[in-house]
Structure 1
């Protein structure tokens, strides 16, 4: 995962995807270049996965050892970074599609699922 993902003015200069999809090929290529330039392409192809919770059941014990505390802290940092990167990619998509398309994809949980829905 990228640790330097930042938004800049140039990041938002992707032409909108036409509601008919007639400019899909150009939109797709420009979008991918923009996302890849920021090291976030793995959020579109599904290789960026949310980090695995350090406790198999997802429940954090009331008392943690120092090693468990360290694992929990690392997990929380990784999860925060993953969520931020997901949000950046989702925001870029949302800002470059029509309201009609946005309403169709807004409930999808990951950038990968949103991108796949747009491709279909």
Structure 2
């Protein structure tokens, strides 16, 4: 078991007292503590060893108790390093690391209920940052989406797809919105054609309505289409600049130097 904590201290930020980083903190803290072989003191799976005869503990029992207390002290130290003062002061009297951790999990899980609602609203209001690479911006959307899933926040496929249309720059939004509308119309026509086929009529099938929760073009497809169009437009801009520079250079090189006025003329007598 490693007791070095320098790497642990730099591995993750402290828990924010508002709980805004609770989900990320809980995951990263758990990983870091497991690396220190101390997680069993957080989940309570390693209770304090008790000698068969408290009045006469054996040598092995004393050794087991000493080992447990050493790991317990390490666990408490690791926890104290990452808690805000107000949280540590509130819970440190609960005794063992497992009891303190259980109380913290309950408190911040309750706080996260409200935070999940805020996460959902923030996600649906995400917008592209002007001038930033669209690849990295879509990565930002994907990370936010995964955070929602990890927080058990429900986002339908239709909402996710709608976000992408609203997220991208206005000119790209119009482009992928038109593609989405065309794909939806095509799907509706195909559904109507299928429903009106002899086989469908004889079987009594008449379902022609597309599910509003299942877009024809999902979010990932819309991102791919937007990226392709964005790259094409970026290339066109680059070609336009190169062409403008070439034309300007051609014009400058074709101009002949003008002769100075009065030069080469003799004086009139």
Q: Please give the TM-score of this superposition, normalised by the length of structure 2.
A: 0.37
Structure 2 CA distance, aligned partners of 1:24 and 1:91?
Answer: 19
Structure number with the higher helix fraction is 2
Compare relative contact order (CA 8 Å, sep 6+) and give the higher one, 1 or 2: 1
Structure 2 CA distance, aligned partners of 1:79 and 1:34?
Answer: 24
Contact 1:5 1:40 in 2 (8 A): no
The residue number in structure 2 matching 1:52 is: 50
The residue number in structure 1 matching 2:88 is: 102
Shift of 1:54: 2.6
The residue number in structure 2 matching 1:21 is: 19
**Runs of at least 4 residues off by over 6 Å:** none
Is 1:90 the counterpart of 2:76? The answer is: yes
Structure 2 CA distance, aligned partners of 1:39 and 1:93?
Answer: 14
Structure 2 CA distance, aligned partners of 1:8 and 1:44?
Answer: 17
Shift of 1:108: 1.5
Which of the residues 63, 77, 99 maps onto 1:77? 63
Structure 1 CA distance, aligned partners of 2:59 and 2:99?
Answer: 28
Structure 2 CA distance, aligned partners of 1:99 and 1:38?
Answer: 23
Which of the residues 26, 29, 32 maps onto 2:30? 32
Shift of 1:102: 0.8
List alignment gaps of at least 5 residues for structure 2.
Answer: 107-269
Structure 1 CA distance, aligned partners of 2:4 and 2:73?
Answer: 11
Shift of 1:37: 1.0
Partner SS for 1:117: helix
Partner SS for 1:81: helix
Q: CA RMSD in A?
A: 1.3
Structure 1 CA distance, aligned partners of 2:5 and 2:91?
Answer: 24
The residue number in structure 2 matching 1:11 is: 8
Structure 2 CA distance, aligned partners of 1:8 and 1:115?
Answer: 19
Shift of 1:41: 1.2
The residue number in structure 2 matching 1:66 is: none
Partner SS for 1:106: helix
Structure 2 CA distance, aligned partners of 1:32 and 1:15?
Answer: 13
Q: Please give the TM-score of this superposition, normalised by the length of structure 1.
A: 0.81
Structure 2 CA distance, aligned partners of 1:92 and 1:8?
Answer: 8
Aligned length, in residue pairs = 105
List alignment gaps of at least 5 residues for structure 1.
Answer: 61-70
Pair 1:48–1:5, CA change in 2 (3 A): farther
Contact 1:43 1:89 in 2 (8 A): yes
